[in-house]
Chains A and B, each alone.
Chain A
């Protein structure tokens, strides 16, 4: 769905690159996470992929079209939810969606259906300017679904949302993906990437350090240990067992059979741990 080869971009058009020689592919129907700290080059890459920024170096194909030859019709296939909410504050939520719906050449989804989907059904007639930051963000998110995109760009889709709403948004992303929508997810939130993405790319200082599935990364970088807290006659006790060593495995089964388990955690690494390990950098 997306093919990027040797992409470079310099805002000052000199040798300082915001994105420096990156290559990757996004397969049709997958959720691809583009992860990195602020200023890593995520938005620049997304800007080029969506045609908002002009391609300077490299080759980029999106939905079968060279971005250099992007026609406006292409945007009938693309949806984009921006990190910064960008809706007409003087129009109501419904007016916003109704207006944008008229700018596509394909059958669009009902504005009310989308507002209901993001929990703004009862706010349809309220001016977007009166919305909270989170509500504006949901409206921007809903707008990106208007044209039933087959390729969906999401820039920090859960930023500023409370956990319940964020969970709803993740559910919508999964549902759309199950319907065959390819998702390009840009975020610095490793948790959402871990929960949603089929594959992730770590980008730092304009360069991709690694691309793999979260599961493979955890297997590769995580420790194969289980930490168990169980009840004994002398109180509670904590032990760590290897999930590979035969003696540890035997002992773990004994503990489970003979004791009351208080807690049990696998010691697999989080995506954030792996990111720090691979890039040597934090996410903030």
Chain B
């Protein structure tokens, strides 16, 4: 019963505190970002600018060829570039937009303002010459690829025809669920909101109590310090669950396994809040603890970074305690390996038991400090 009373009192305090509204506000902001700012899928349409610096009959012939292509739709459009209105011809196909500029100057201006590559095709000594206007950040690999494409003198089309029959592309992952870009952000947001924020917020709650001398007063009652700590954790778990479901339900509806989601949310927030509690036990106020909290937040966020950049997934990052959290949230949203989620949850619960014993020891030892 004492735990229940403490929990109710902590909920009352949380509802009257600034930090509770930070967490709630952050969840709402993330939800707004996911639903209204991030498009369901980011546009993958490639833009290119082209100027054909060839004799007029050749240009007319090429434009006529492109206009008659069933894969391309031609349209005259006006683009704004550096305060000027430039007339261009747009050829739009699946996943690409090709803009035909009227002069080399127009092409350079458009390539600069739209931050897209531009190509000028001209004639010299009876040979076609390609001048590429790049943005400057392209890797040497891209430059080499362009050079290779022209090595035979035939351009990309010849290269494609030359190698296509010998190349077979196979996917290693054939059963994966393709997430929309919106859905893809949810695991990271769950991780940031539920876990990383949780560590900071529980430490803040403790520092508020330390500032008011509350822990000492609690210690001189017939209740246990572990009850005090457990009620703090329970409050954090409640808010984490609430704000996480606030994020997941509007995006996924009934598509995810909510039982496993709740399990991993409770286990991971328990684990991370205990780390927050232990850190807070070593410091007197949030200013003194800020350095270590900030360092831990950065370190613990690295798995989220690895999730966002699939090509960056070094082995060492898997040893960070937050790695299984991000992976579990990912498995939840892709309706993947629930055994992994279950094992990760068990792992967090097991580690939390040890951390809780240590946190209880720390708080009993530092009551009068």
Residues of A within 8 A of B (CB): 47, 50-54, 72-76, 78-80, 82, 84-91, 95, 99-100, 102-106, 140, 143, 147
Q: Which of A79, A89, A104 contacts B212 (CB 8 A)?
A: A89
Main secondary structure, interface of A, reads: loop
Instruction: Note all chain B residues with C-beta closer than 8 A to A53.
Output: 367-368
Q: Which of A47, A86, A89, A106 contacts B217 (CB 8 A)?
A: A86
Flag whether B17 is at the interface (Cβ < 8 A): yes
Instruction: Note all chain B residues with C-beta closer than 8 A to A88.
Output: 9, 13, 212, 214
Known interface pairs A82-B213, A91-B12; A52-B222 also in contact (CB < 8 Å): no
Taking a contact as CB atoms under 8 Å apart, the answer to whether A105 and B222 are in contact is yes
Annotate B205-221 by CB proximity to A: 1 below 8 A, 0 otherwise. 00000001110111111
Q: Which of B2, B13, B220, B368 contacts A102 (CB 8 A)?
A: B2
Complex Cα spacing A41 to B223, Å: 27
Instruction: Note all chain B residues with C-beta closer than 8 A to A143.
Output: 217
Complex Cα spacing A112 to B223, Å: 22
Q: Which of B6, B212, B220, B224 contacts A87 (CB 8 A)?
A: B212
Determine how close the nearest CB of chain A comes to the CB of B204; give it in whole angstroms. 14
Taking a contact as CB atoms under 8 Å apart, the answer to whether B222 and A50 are in contact is no
Nearest chain A residue, comparing its CB with the CB of B4: A102
Complex Cα spacing A99 to B9, Å: 7
23 pairs, CB–CB < 8 Å, chain A vs chain B: A47-B368, A50-B220, A51-B219, A52-B220, A52-B367, A53-B367, A53-B368, A54-B365, A75-B221, A84-B213, A85-B213, A86-B214, A86-B216, A86-B217, A88-B9, A88-B13, A88-B214, A89-B212, A90-B16, A99-B9, A100-B221, A103-B2, A105-B222
Q: Which of B212, B213, B223, B368 contacts A103 (CB 8 A)?
A: B223
Flag whether B242 is at the interface (Cβ < 8 A): no
Complex Cα spacing A67 to B17, Å: 36
Taking a contact as CB atoms under 8 Å apart, the answer to whether A87 and B219 are in contact is no
Nearest chain A residue, comparing its CB with the CB of B227: A103
Known interface pairs A86-B212, A86-B216, A88-B214; A99-B5 also in contact (CB < 8 Å): yes
Nearest chain A residue, comparing its CB with the CB of B219: A52
Nearest chain B residue, comparing its CB with the CB of A54: B365
Instruction: Note all chain A residues with C-beta closer than 8 A to B216.
Output: 52, 82, 86
Determine how close the nearest CB of chain A comes to the CB of B48; give it in whole angstroms. 61
Known interface pairs A52-B216, A86-B212, A89-B212; A103-B221 also in contact (CB < 8 Å): yes
- Which residues, 217 to 236 on B, are CB-close (under 8 Å) to A? 217-224
Instruction: Note all chain A residues with C-beta closer than 8 A to B368.
Output: 47, 52-53
Determine how close the nearest CB of chain A comes to the CB of B212; give it in whole angstroms. 6
Nearest chain A residue, comparing its CB with the CB of B214: A86
Taking a contact as CB atoms under 8 Å apart, the answer to whether A80 and B220 are in contact is yes
Instruction: Note all chain A residues with C-beta closer than 8 A to B218.
Output: 103
- Which residues, 322 to 369 on B, are CB-close (under 8 Å) to A? 365, 367-368
Determine how close the nearest CB of chain A comes to the CB of B317; give it in whole angstroms. 39
Complex Cα spacing A53 to B218, Å: 14
Nearest chain A residue, comparing its CB with the CB of B16: A90
Complex Cα spacing A106 to B221, Å: 11
Instruction: Note all chain B residues with C-beta closer than 8 A to A52.
Output: 216, 219-220, 367-368
